[in-house]
């Protein structure tokens, strides 16, 4: 059985070299009397006893095994090369490019080996789960009209909480351990970016209407007005002068806001981070990124819906995930920057199909399963292509 496997492997290697290095083979067989090809001079190519091309180096006096001293030359792009890299990558426990390439070079020498190994490992599902990067962030969209329109302050307000903070109600009782939990509620103007702070005792929505009182009236609802802040006698001239002064201040502020603040929003501040530039589509299997737990506990999810913005770009999706104590199906909305793709996309370079005219009835009947079970089109095309390569190899040898 071992001899049959070795013979099959040798046949595959000769077939790969025959289709990938035709000029080098002609020169090594003596059919080309001209100058040797560049690869023959660079790698010192020669035929071994099995008519397999090997590389000759300067380490023949080392203690390495014969296969490591003179490895087999292989191209960078071939299905068998990908299978070899995947097998070695799994054998070294998915350790990375360097360990995988070092183990491969103990027997094979792949052209542009590091680049080839890196491209294949990048599509490894196991490595994606452990070290995969989230989707690449889309370009920043246009700001909403509430951020760039001239409006009175606090026409559009954003709310946020900070805290909790613990305070004591009585100053004299500093030694007491009793304290009240409070929160800071931040009111942010969308246009002017002005911020107003309020102290609230709860995160519930019922406490919100009581907080903006000081912002709207300039004082608490329960506070009494002070006569020091108001003009007792107001005349026509004083009111007109004050109105002109307020109008002038408003015009100056609006002009400064348009020239300095609004023009500064034109710049796009994008945080540079490692990301994945793969396309996202419905049905993709992804990992939900969660900073609060270890990566090994991140959940798998399936993309159910793509949420497009006004510019047609997808920045958020609806995913289906099992969650909760009962492991019920949940639909969650998540940003694409918190999704790590797991599935491997098909490579951009596809295998060319064998022409229909070159397929005979015998080949077609051989490619179909003998059990009558339907087979995938890719499997049939692959088997027909292998038959074509075998015939071409037999003709040349």
pLDDT of residue 115: 92
3 state DSSP class of 45: coil
Give the bridge partners for 330, in sequence order: 321
The closest of 182, 179, 154 to 168, measured between CA atoms, is 179
The closest of 59, 55, 60 to 71, measured between CA atoms, is 55
Burial of 144: CB neighbours in 10 Å, binned 0-12, 13-18, 19+: exposed
Q: Which two tokens stand for residue 374?
A: 């339907």
Cα gap 81→86, rounded to integer Å: 9
Peptide bond into 164 cis (omega under 30): yes
The domains of the chain, with CATH numbers, are 1-130 (1.10.340.70), 156-168+179-220 (no CATH), 280-346+386-396 (2.30.30)
* Pairing state between β 339-341 and 108-110: unpaired
* Pairing state between β 108-110 and 72-74: parallel
In the β-sheet with 157-167, what is the strand arrangement from edge to edge? 157-167, 180-189, 195-200
Helix (H) or strand (E) holding 185: strand 180-189
What residues contact 159, with CB distance under 8 A and at least 6 apart? 185, 186, 187, 188, 208
The string over 248-281, giving b where at least 16 C-beta atoms fall within 10 Å of a residue's C-beta and e elsewhere, is eeeeeeeeeeeeeebeeeeeeeeeeeeebeeebe
Q: Which two tokens stand for residue 217?
A: 């009236």
Cα gap 131→66, rounded to integer Å: 36
pLDDT of residue 74: 92
> CB neighbours (10 Å) of residue 396?
11
Cα gap 46→51, rounded to integer Å: 9
Chunk the chain into consecutive blocks of 10 residues (it has 397) and report each block's average pLDDT, rounded to whole numbers: 85 90 87 82 88 87 85 90 92 89 91 91 84 78 78 81 76 61 83 80 63 56 54 68 83 76 63 61 85 82 86 86 76 87 57 39 42 62 78 70
Give the bridge partners for 321, in sequence order: 330
Q: Helices in the chain by DSSP H: which ranges? A: 2-20, 22-28, 38-43, 66-69, 79-91, 97-104, 113-121, 125-131, 145-148, 213-217, 236-256, 263-264, 361-367, 377-396
Cα gap 288→96, rounded to integer Å: 24
User: Which DSSP string do the residues of 105-147 spell out, in sequence order?
Assistant: TTTEEETTHHHHHHHHHTT-HHHHHHHPPPBPPPPP-PPPHHH
Contact 196, 215 (CB under 8 A): yes
């Amino acid at each position: 059985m071992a001899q049959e496997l070795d013979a099959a492997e040798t046949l595959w290697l000769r077939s790969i070299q025959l289709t990938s290095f035709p000029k080098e083979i002609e020169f090594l067989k003596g059919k080309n009397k001209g100058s040797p090809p560049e690869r023959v001079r660079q790698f010192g190519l020669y035929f071994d006893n099995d008519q397999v091309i090997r590389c000759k180096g300067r380490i023949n006096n080392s203690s390495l095994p014969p296969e490591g001293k003179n490895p087999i030359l292989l191209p960078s792009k071939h299905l068998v090369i990908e299978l070899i890299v995947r097998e070695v990558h799994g054998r070294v426990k998915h350790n990375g490019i360097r360990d995988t390439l070092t183990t491969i070079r103990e027997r094979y020498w792949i052209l542009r080996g590091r680049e080839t190994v890196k491209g294949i490992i990048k599509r490894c599902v196991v490595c994606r789960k452990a070290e995969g990067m989230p989707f690449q962030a889309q370009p920043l969209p246009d700001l909403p009209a509430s951020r760039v329109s001239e409006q009175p302050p606090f026409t559009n307000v954003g709310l946020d909480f900070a805290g909790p903070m613990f305070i004591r109600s009585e100053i004299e009782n500093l030694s007491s351990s009793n304290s009240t939990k409070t929160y800071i509620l931040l009111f942010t103007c969308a246009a002017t970016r002005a911020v107003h702070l309020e102290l609230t005792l709860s995160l519930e929505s019922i406490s919100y209407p009581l907080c903006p009182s000081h912002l709207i009236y300039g004082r608490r609802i329960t506070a009494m007005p002070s006569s020091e802040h108001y003009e007792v006698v107001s005349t026509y001239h004083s009111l007109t002068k004050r109105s002109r002064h307020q109008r002038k201040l408003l015009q100056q502020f609006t002009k400064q806001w348009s020239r300095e603040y609004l023009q500064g929003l034109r710049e796009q501040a994008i945080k540079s981070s490692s990301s994945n530039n793969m396309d996202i589509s419905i049905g993709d299997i992804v990992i939900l990124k969660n900073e609060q737990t270890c990566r090994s506990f991140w959940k798998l999810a399936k993309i159910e819906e793509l949420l497009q913005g006004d510019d047609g770009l997808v920045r958020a999706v609806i995913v289906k995930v099992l969650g909760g104590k009962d492991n019920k199906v949940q639909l969650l909305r998540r940003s694409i920057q918190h999704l790590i793709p797991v599935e491997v996309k098909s490579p951009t370079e596809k295998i060319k199909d064998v022409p229909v005219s070159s397929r005979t009835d015998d080949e077609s009947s051989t490619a179909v399963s003998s059990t009558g079970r339907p087979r995938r089109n890719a499997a049939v095309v692959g088997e027909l292509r292998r038959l074509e390569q075998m015939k071409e190899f037999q003709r040349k040898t």
